Homo-oligomer: A and B are copies of this chain.
Amino acid sequence: MHFSQVVQMVGLFTVVGEAVKVNPLPKPTSIAWGTSGARSVGHLSLKGTSSSVVVNAWKRAYRTVTTLEWVPQAIEAPIAIYYVFPTAAPAKREVSRQNGGSHSELTTVIFSISDTSVPLQQGVDESYTLIVTESSSSIAITSKTVWGALNAITTLQQLIICDSHGGLEIEQPVTIKDAPLYPYRGIMIDTGRNFLTLPKIKEQIDGMALSKLNVLHWHLDDSQSWPIQMKIYPQMTKDAYSVNEIYSQAAINDVLAYAQARGVRVIPEVDMPGHASSGWKQVDSSIVACANSWWSNDNWPLHTAVEPNPGQLEILNPKTYKVVKNVYDELSALFSDDFFHVGGDELQTGCYNFSTITTDWFAANSSRTYADLLQHWVDTAMPIFKAPNNRKLIMWEDVVIGASGVHANTVPTDIVMQSWNNGIANIKALTSMGYEVIVSSSDWLYLDCGYGGWVSNDPRYDINVNPDAATGDSNFNFGGNGGSWCAPYKTWQRIYDYDFTANLTAAEAEKVIGVTAPLWAEQVDDTVVSSKMWPRAAALAELSWSGNKDANGNKRTTELTQRIFNFREYLVANGIGAAPLAPKYCLQHPHSCDLYYDQTELSHGS
């Protein structure tokens, strides 16, 4: 819907928290500001807990607050009133703001934590309340667990900003009651395609802690490389890219401790039986099929992999399971989370044309199918993965739905499915079958999309005249995907707008335990991981923490604009190399870079 008189739009949009400069991300479930204005913050001491997790988190946050002396870089304000086209009208509206400093200094943060011993695991209580009153000299934080207290600290550090005299102030009085919508809020890194150094992995965890994401899904290896030190099979790291590109188990423990201290779970993935060549073939070449085949996407009937290089575990070779068990047991002891991801995506049938054991097996009984083959994997491998401590397993949805390969006949419903194809349709299909689901729908949440293709010797780029110039239709090089199968690039708005439980029954919706934004690493290493991940992952953080709708059920994407603009600057100030989203002009002139003047445009549907 359009409008013809811009001036008529005044008053349609109510700014939340217009009187305050801070706009914490993710937006809390409930936040109630008073009107008395900002207040000075003195030296803040901590009381009420001796939990080392909380004490250390507070020290980090307080150091950040006192050294950054943050000045909000994008504050919310109503869109300006512009001159009416084509003649003149009143000047811009100035938003009045209140000053702080008229109240007593705040000097204490008092924590009340019900149980400081609750471990960080799926479903742990992450809620908190944070209260600053006009009369008290202390800030009151209440939570059930230390993990809730960490979330309160993260919010608090975003509330304390630099005042105009070089001191610190807090926007107050304020009452915040907050808890996440979903218990599983993740991002995925991929160290199989390209290596990431420890500092860069920690940088991702820093960003997660600031945005209240709580799961780092670590896709450890892939066909291309095996970067994890293995004591049982030291030869596996012959397939690391170099001796400098290996994670020692000490290094992994370091990452786990770093993450745990910041309320972030680390869930490892070892992708099997597809995407498996490097590492495994060093143990025993007979447990990997088609490792030396041409991937052959230039002759699709002969293809053995959807991307270079090929290699899948030999499902019918008993030796495979011995190696799988030894590798799993060692990694299972290393990674402490209750969840473990065992892959299961994109099994390519052509690979097994190179496997005599498989072709013999099919020849012996003509009723056998590739589904039966994969079923053999499920029936044999899952007990191995369950054995050590009966942990919760995650698999990619392919094992059940088979979007880009085969699927098995029967998969236990206690395995969590990570959905990446067909958006809501697959989420509905999986939840209606009884599976718990982690949403990673590629059309919304794949952060690696839109960078063109990375395979070489590709003649599709060699087009010098737009073949569809007359019709304006898009094609490979002109408006189309440019070689990126999941193009276009997912903007923060696209991510935030995703209603991934739409059309689900209540029972189905309850099966959705959370979300993860994957950043596949064919074109990612230290140089770009942070700018591809951030601040877009923060849009997902808010989507999964408090949703994308306001109290009236309308999309609040437009409201997120200034919040995420500011948060991007905050990430950069905290050492996380997040990408800029817009000209800084847009940050400094709220909503001047909106496509629609009507601030409620998103609630109209499109």
Residues of A within 8 A of B (CB): 2-4, 6, 82-83, 85-88, 91-92, 193-195, 223-225, 241, 245, 278, 292-294, 296-299, 302, 304, 308-309, 350, 353-354, 359, 423-425, 443, 450-466, 474, 476-484, 487-491, 493-494, 497-499, 502, 521-525, 527-528, 530-531, 555, 557-558, 561, 572, 577-586, 588-589, 591-599, 601-602, 604-606
Contact B525 A456 (CB under 8 A): no
Contact B489 A350 (CB under 8 A): no
Residue among B450, B521, B597 making CB contact with A296, cutoff 8 Å: B597
Are the C-beta atoms of A561 and B457 separated by less than 8 Å? yes
Contact A479 B487 (CB under 8 A): yes
Partner of A452, one of B296, B491, B527: B491
CA distance A453 to B91 in the complex (A): 29
Checking B359, B457, B479, B580 against A594 with a beta-carbon cut-off of 8 angstroms, the contacting residue is B457
The chain B residue with its CB closest to the CB of A579 is: B528
CB distance from A103 to the nearest CB of B (A): 30
Q: Is A477 a contact partner of B443 (Cβ separation < 8 A)?
A: yes
**Would B456 and A586 count as touching, CB distance under 8 A?**
yes
Chief secondary structure at chain A's binding surface: loop
Instruction: Jot down 10 A-B pairs with beta carbons below 8 A, ordered by A.
Output: A4-B299, A309-B589, A455-B582, A456-B593, A459-B606, A461-B557, A479-B487, A522-B582, A527-B531, A528-B531
With A481-B479, A528-B579 in contact, do A424 and B465 touch (Cβ < 8 Å)? Answer: yes
What's the minimum C-beta distance from A434 to chain B, rounded to whole angstroms?
23
- The answer to whether A498 and B464 have CB atoms under 8 Å apart is yes
List residues of chain B with CB within 8 A of the CB of A484.
Answer: 488-489
A450's contact among B82, B297, B308, B452, by CB below 8 Å, is which?
Answer: B452
In the complex, residue of chain B having the shortest beta-carbon distance to the beta carbon of A599: B457
B488 touches A450 (CB 8 A): yes
Q: Which residues of B contact A424 (CB under 8 A)?
A: 464-465
Contact of A456 among B92, B561, B585 (CB under 8 A): B561
A453 x B491 contact (CB < 8 A): yes
A509 to chain B, nearest CB (A): 14
Complex: A580 Cα to B359 Cα, angstroms: 39
* Set of chain B residues within 8 Å of A524, measured between Cβ atoms: 580
In whole angstroms, how far apart are the Cα atoms of A463 and B152 in the complex?
A: 34
Q: Please, which residues of chain B bring their CB within 8 A of the CB of A601? A: 298, 457, 459
B450 and A450 form a contact (CB under 8 A): yes
Which B residues are CB-close (under 8 A) to A578? 527
Give A547 Cβ to nearest chain B Cβ, in Å: 14
In the docked arrangement, what's the CA distance between A359 and B460, Å?
49
CA distance A557 to B461 in the complex (A): 10
Shortest Cβ distance from A85 into B: residue: B302
Q: Contact: B353 with A85, CB < 8 Å? A: yes
Given contacts A194-B580, A458-B493, A460-B606, contact A86 B354 (CB under 8 A): yes
Known: A466-B443, A527-B580. A596 touches B298 (CB 8 A): yes
- Measured in the bound complex, the distance between the Cα atoms of B465 and A425 in whole Å is 9
A604 / chain B contacts, CB cutoff of 8 Å? 459
Q: How far is the CB of A92 from chain B (nearest CB, A)?
A: 7
Given A6-B296, A457-B596, A458-B594, 14 more pairs with CB closer than 8 A: A85-B294, A193-B583, A224-B584, A225-B583, A298-B595, A452-B490, A454-B586, A456-B582, A457-B591, A457-B599, A477-B488, A487-B487, A527-B530, A528-B580
Q: Which of B478, B490, B528, B557 contacts A462 (CB 8 A)?
A: B557
Q: With a CB–CB cut-off of 8 A, which chain B residues contact A453? A: 491, 493, 595
CA distance A19 to B85 in the complex (A): 69
A542 and B167 alpha carbons, distance in the complex (Å): 54
Q: Is the CB of A461 within 8 A of B83?
A: no
Flag if A294 contacts B597 (CB, 8 Å).
Answer: yes
CB of B423 within 8 A of CB of A464, answer: yes
Check B591 against A456 for contact (C-beta < 8 Å). Answer: yes
Cα distance, A498 to B465, chains bound together (Å): 10
The 9 closest A-B pairs by CB, nearest first: A482-B488, A86-B353, A457-B594, A452-B491, A224-B585, A459-B606, A82-B294, A462-B497, A193-B583
